[in-house]
Structure 1
Amino acid sequence: MSDTRAAVDAVAAGGAAPLVGAPPVPPARAAGRSVVRALRGRRLARSLPAVLSWLLLTGLVLVALVGPLLVSADPLRQTSSALLSPGAAGHPLGTDDLGRDELARLVHGARPLLLVSFAATALAAGVGTLIGLVAGYVGGIVEQVLMRLVDLALAFPSILLVILLVAAAGPGTVSLVFGIGISLAPGLARLARALTAREAARDYVVAARIGGTGVPRILVRELLPNIGGPLLAQVVMTLSIAAGFAAGLSYLGLGIQPPTPDWGYMVQAGQEFLFSAPRLVVLPAMFTLLFVVACNFVGDDLRDALDPRGTA
């Protein structure tokens, strides 16, 4: 959660109150800067690592979406020959200890991991943003109660909280998404609260409130588009944490259950053959690592493009 805490501290340090006598900002959403408008005129992928990360992330998502349609081999079908070496007839990457095609298992294993990662991140973003918006805009006792609960959740190590939630709900995809999503929501809530508190003092929000606009409309139509940029960058970074948690829990047997191919479980199943067939461990671990690293670089790139302190 260090990235989230640093982002919140930066927002808190950079948020200044409007100057008295300054010309009023038009009380419309144009007063703010939505994600689309912020990206317009901003250049993404301005460095080689960012370009490679965008390409890698896009490629892995495409593999998860369309890869199973392009690989004809059945990832669950066992052959009579186990641990075939790469290049064997019909098995470009060989087979595992049960004679299952390794290429098919790698391709089919991308979808469960990415599905859990995106779903858990979406849950964390939804819950965290809602808490942060309400706390930052309403303030008072509501903010105190909500943020104390957030601080209490942040006091627990995230991985420990995930394990406790998943273990309590039982292993499986649904419990994995719920456990990871709830454990990652407090960090996003803290950032959303800091961003909302800064925006709530601006003229366009004050004008909307004076004009009789309801609280839900202000939160959704006025505040959310204007805090969406920094939140989006942090959500993409959170996606990398979710992927690491999903793979780690599958490795421990608390995540996606066999026989469904999954990169985390494939590492656990192949570690017995680390020296005789290292590809069974290295390949799924490498793809998981590449996805995590790509998400972090893409998140950094988005943060540079959507940094509110760098916009006029």
Structure 2
Amino acid sequence: MSDTRTAPPPVATARPSSPPFTGRSVLAVWRRRRLARSWPAVLSWLVLVALVLVAVVGPLLVQADPLRQTSSSLLPMGSSGHLFGTDDLGRDELARLVHGARPLLLVAFAATALAAVVGTGIGLVAGYAGGVVEQVLMRIVDLALAFPSILLVILLVAAAGPGTVSLVFGIGVSLAPGLARLARALTAREAAHDYVVAAKLGGTRTSRVLARELLPNIAGPMLAQVVMTLSIAAGFAAGLSYLGLGIQPPQPDWGYMVQAGQEFLYTAPRLVVLPATFTLLFVVACNFVGDDLRDALDVRGPA
């Protein structure tokens, strides 16, 4: 008698889930994906690097004193010894442009770093803790976002007094809420994944979960947004210097140079056009570079 029994059907096994994204994955993604894949991105990277180099090493290469006043006022561009001419006080315009890049970019980078640390920290804690902690922190963030950013910056800087330190503090605090909201959304999404739940059930300390599990996973989108925030910080710094609340004269600064040169807008427009153009180039380059970083570091996108 033949055996009519049939073999049991195969048991379906779950497909192994992809490993969680960790800090080491960033290097792999960076190798697979190429930055600056379009000509606007290439041009933006070149402009951004060039302006940073001007701010860092430019003052070492330009020998003219940006504060030295001479009788050769309002010399046109191409004058002997003054490539970009002189301003109304006879100061070399090229030297003032080069020396004016450092304070503006220093304020922009420092304020953005402050906003990134504060905003990312608040967003991580709120997104991971949830409940009452999240509600309290995010209501504070919403209250800060209810104020127009430029108005909040002016209030903070005016309360602390004009100067570099108050400028960094005011801009950093005003930009932190936007980064905090993004960090909370990214953290809440990642906190629901199995690797975070497993770390919590395994007794991993909260600080270690935040630093080792969650932060590397939100680093890509946050980095792109931080670079875009850098453009806003530079615009705020230049605008406040224009209003007299930022970097104080006689130290050259692109924002203050626009304000000082507007009196000669029709007779010597370069005094306004040149610093305003350099500020605009930096702002636009930061936005395009941020977009490029977002595409390159999006590990969940198509390869």
How many residues of Structure 1 are paired with residues of Structure 2 in the alignment?
290
Change (3 A) 1:271 1:31: closer
Aligned to 1:142: 133
Matched AA of 2:182: L
Q: Following the alignment from structure 1 to structure 2, what is the Cα–Cα distance between the partners of residues 73 and 181?
A: 33
Shift of 1:34: 4.9
Matched AA of 2:257: M
Shift of 1:40: 2.6
- Kept after mapping to 2: 8 A contact 1:34/1:228: no
Q: Following the alignment from structure 2 to structure 1, what is the Cα–Cα distance between the partners of residues 23 and 71?
A: 63
The runs of 5 or more residues in structure 2 that have no matched partner are 1-13
- Kept after mapping to 2: 8 A contact 1:35/1:226: no
Relative to the length of structure 2, the TM-score reads 0.92
Alignment of 1:189 onto 2:180 = yes
Shift of 1:192: 0.3
Change (3 A) 1:22 1:147: farther
- Kept after mapping to 2: 8 A contact 1:31/1:204: no
Shift of 1:194: 0.5
SS of the counterpart of 1:310? coil
Shift of 1:293: 0.3
Aligned to 1:220: 211
- Kept after mapping to 2: 8 A contact 1:253/1:265: yes
- The one-character-per-residue Cα deviations of 1:209-240 (angstroms, maximum 9, x if unpaired) are 12221000110111111100000000000000
Q: Which has the higher contact order (CA 8 A, sep 6+)?
A: 1
Alignment of 1:288 onto 2:283 = no
SS of the counterpart of 1:97? coil
Q: Following the alignment from structure 1 to structure 2, what is the Cα–Cα distance between the partners of residues 37 and 215?
A: 27
Change (3 A) 1:190 1:33: farther
- Kept after mapping to 2: 8 A contact 1:38/1:229: no
Say which one has the larger Rg.
2
- The one-character-per-residue Cα deviations of 1:280-299 (angstroms, maximum 9, x if unpaired) are 00000000000000000001
Matched AA of 1:268: Q
Shift of 1:31: 5.2
Alignment of 1:276 onto 2:267 = yes
Relative to the length of structure 1, the TM-score reads 0.90
Matched AA of 2:301: G
Q: Following the alignment from structure 1 to structure 2, what is the Cα–Cα distance between the partners of residues 36 and 311?
A: 16
Matched AA of 2:230: L
Aligned to 2:165: 174
Aligned pair partner of 2:98 in 107, 129, 145 = 107
Aligned to 1:127: 118
- The one-character-per-residue Cα deviations of 1:35-58 (angstroms, maximum 9, x if unpaired) are 434323111111110100000000
1:1-312 aligned at under 5 Å gives the runs 23=16, 34-310=25-301
- Kept after mapping to 2: 8 A contact 1:77/1:100: yes
Q: Following the alignment from structure 1 to structure 2, what is the Cα–Cα distance between the partners of residues 143 and 30?
A: 24
Shift of 1:24: 5.2
Matched AA of 1:245: F
- Kept after mapping to 1: 8 A contact 2:21/2:217: no
- Kept after mapping to 1: 8 A contact 2:21/2:216: no
RMSD of equivalent CA atoms: 1.5
